[in-house]
Amino acid sequence: MTAYVLTVKCASTRGIVAAIANCLADQGCNITDSHQYDDPLTGNFFMRVSFTSEKGVGVEALRGAFEPVAATFGMDWAIHDASHKTKVLLMVSNFGHCLNDLLYRWRIGALPIEIVGVISNHMTYQKVVVNHDIPFHQIRVTKDNKPQAEAQLMAVVEETGAELVVLARYMQILSDQLCQKMSGRIINIHHSFLPSFKGANPYKQAYERGVKLIGATAHYVTADLDEGPIIEQDTVRITHAQSPEDYVSLGRDVEAQVLARAIHAHIHQRVFLNGNKTVVFPASPGSYASERMG
């Protein structure tokens, strides 16, 4: 049986859930997982439904059958083939903890994505990437060549058909124009000390202030630097006994985990934009399972 995911966003009103369930049942589909949320402040309704087609109805036929329901409620909707692997382009600079973590999760099937390439402004991880049989693109970025560098980046996006760009500790600021063009398609990761501790060594600043929690935030990239809609966050507790180097090491771990969880949520259509916030539904049963151990 083919598995699908239906995502819906519309104004909240009576009868939406019933209409969706009835439509899927009429097409011989069985709902296997479902989550919904009514935002009382915005009046928006969000729903994610996992289902299987027990009669072998194809995705185009399902979309055609659902169109009248969507029109009735003014839905922003999509039906996704659950077997589709999102094409992902990774970007990295000189910190490789997130890149290496994502490559491992991809290799064992814990992140069911298709990595179509890695872009870096350095050569540090060229050998690592090539050894995984993934195309590596070095695009140097300076103050003088930034427009040309971003044009090269977009050329790679278009050539590879990348559906998602992940800034896996890519230490360059993207232009407003690029952020707008790729809205909702770029995920970034950074420590959660902002705006308190800025600059090149935030962990040392946090140590000097006796910070007791280290966190990381994964969010969609917007023109507002590090202020896009948040997808995932987490923290790790620190004691007075930890050194500045401990802070950095613990920070690396939480960054890698948070970024992987954010990507997992995005590729499984669990994230809905709600203004400058997000609605993130829980993972469906079995979606964290790996194909192999290592």
The residues carrying an active-site annotation are 226
Pairing of the two strands 2-11 and 76-81: antiparallel
Q: Count CB-CB contacts under 10 A for residue 200.
A: 7
CA distance 293 to 39: 40
State the DSSP H helix or E strand holding residue 33, giving kind and residue range, or none if neither. strand 29-38
Indicate the residue type of 49. Answer: V
Cα–Cα distance between 209 and 287 in angstroms, integer? Answer: 40
| CB 111, CB 101: distance < 8 Å | no
Strands 136-138 and 44-53: unpaired
Parallel/antiparallel/unpaired status of strands 136-138 and 213-220: unpaired
Q: Which two tokens stand for residue 163?
A: 């559906």
Structural contact between residues 30 and 62, judged by C-beta atoms closer than 8 angstroms: no
| Coil vs helix vs strand at 64 | helix
Could you tell me the two tokens for 145? 């060549």
First-residue to last-residue Cα distance in the chain: 28
